[in-house]
Amino acid sequence: MNLNFKQSRHQIAKQLSVMHEVDIAKVFDEANLEEKNIIAQIIPINIIDDVFIELGAKEAIELFGMLDDIRRRVLLEDLSAADLKPLFEEFSEEDKNKFSSLLKLSKRKELEKLIKYDETKAASVMRSDYLTIQYDYEVSEAMKYIIANVTDNDYIDTIFVKKNNRLVGTISLKDLIVARKNQQIVEFINPDFEYVNEEDNLAVAIEKISDYDIALLAVLNKNKGLIGIITAEDVLEEMALEFESNVDKFVAVGDYDEDSNPFVRAKQRLPWLLASIVLNLVIALFLSIFSDTINAIAALVLFQPLILGMAGNIGTQAIAVTILVLHNKTHETKEARRKHIKKEVFIGITNAIIVGILGFVLSFVFLTLTTFDMGKNVTPLILSLAISLSLVFSMIISSFFGVLIPIALTKLNIDPAAASGPVISTINDLVALVIYFGLATIIVLPLIV
């Protein structure tokens, strides 16, 4: 939905009031500086927080700087500490102090607590928009308490029940509504609720929300007291950000910014491209060893893309799975890593044998039906055998490296997502070509010489 900035400010404000917050965020993102100022000055107060959440970090900071004091205070009042955290982390130290001074003491302390958590911990994304009631309440007492204390941002589908500062269960709001007012809430408590501990990794929270298909997860401290909740929406956002970050690293494009000019983007990508040139020259140097084989058996060149492609594909599959399990912290012990390596190598061997057999059949049929010169005394059967064995061995070794390289990089405290892409590509190419031309030299070349 487009916004006509040629209208009067009253008309623009009226149009903004009926637009969806996602559409307003898109308009703000695409607007020029003057138009952004107009939006910031007249945006309805009751939707500022919804629009703010939909903006990227850069645009959110820009909008915050354009708001007047009244709108700033309303925004900070409406947003939770969890929503404010990404914005706060983007500020300079000076701006952080100014920003903190605008917050209420309780929200400031909550924000400071969130920031102290390592970003890999589940507690780093928790929020405090929930309601708790006492274990010994009657239904009428519970409803009165909820009505008196609920805020617009609270998650009230699930109410948490505590006893002596410990979380003992949950109650759905629906159960409270349909219950009789003089009943004890203990009759409706669900004691089998899902939770994560304060020190658990974020991956644990993601796994539980995904496996149990739940919208809400409690975060408990060491005394089993409730300190926050994690929503499915929070987890989904973290997964999306992490996925985007890992893809950028894996393909070596640097910190991607859509607003940066082409020269900046080119500068980010160029180092890995130059490194690839050097590494491929090394591969060319190795291949010079097999110059006699290549000159004598020209048909080998036809199947070089097949060998490189299959080795690269299986290596990429193995490395992607390994980076995922390393990120999820599910293979931290030696035994778990050993089990993962065995499993992935077995998968690689199985696929390599199947592809090797298919490669033999297809290359044999192709060489039989064509009249391409394979050299004196070289039959389609012999050349197909060399191709098949090359596929098998290169795929097995590539899958092994695909598992081993991320684990080795992690042990060296190097981000496997950032370095694995270029490294595995080069190693796969080198290994596959050496195996291919090496086997051709051993099996096929003696028949010609």
pLDDT tens digits along 287-325: 788 888 877 777 788 888 899 889 888 988 888 888 777
- Domains of the chain in start order, with CATH, are 9-119 (1.25.60.10), 124-231 (3.10.580.10), 262-448 (1.10.357.20)
- With residue 167 as reference, give the H or E element that holds it: strand 166-172
Ranges of residues in the chain with a pLDDT under 70 are: 1, 237-261, 264-265, 268-269, 272, 327-333, 373-375, 414-424, 448-449
Q: Which of 359, 435, 425 lies closest to 396, judged by CA?
A: 435
Q: Which pLDDT score is estimated for 134? A: 93
Q: 135 forms bridges with which residues in the sheet?
A: none
pLDDT number for residue 245? 56
The pLDDT value given to residue 54: 87
Distance from C-alpha of 376 to C-alpha of 260, rounded to nearest angstrom: 58
Q: Do the Cβ atoms of 72 and 102 come closer than 8 Å?
A: yes
- Helical spans, DSSP H, in 230-333: 232-250, 262-287, 291-296, 304-327
pLDDT tens digit sequence for 394-449: 999 988 888 888 888 777 776 665 555 666 677 778 888 889 888 888 888 787 65
Q: Do 444 and 378 meet the contact criterion of CB atoms below 8 Å apart?
A: yes
What pLDDT, on the 0 to 100 scale, is given for residue 269?
Answer: 65
Of 11, 85, 387, residue with least CA distance to 237:
85
**Tokens, residue 137:** 């309440």
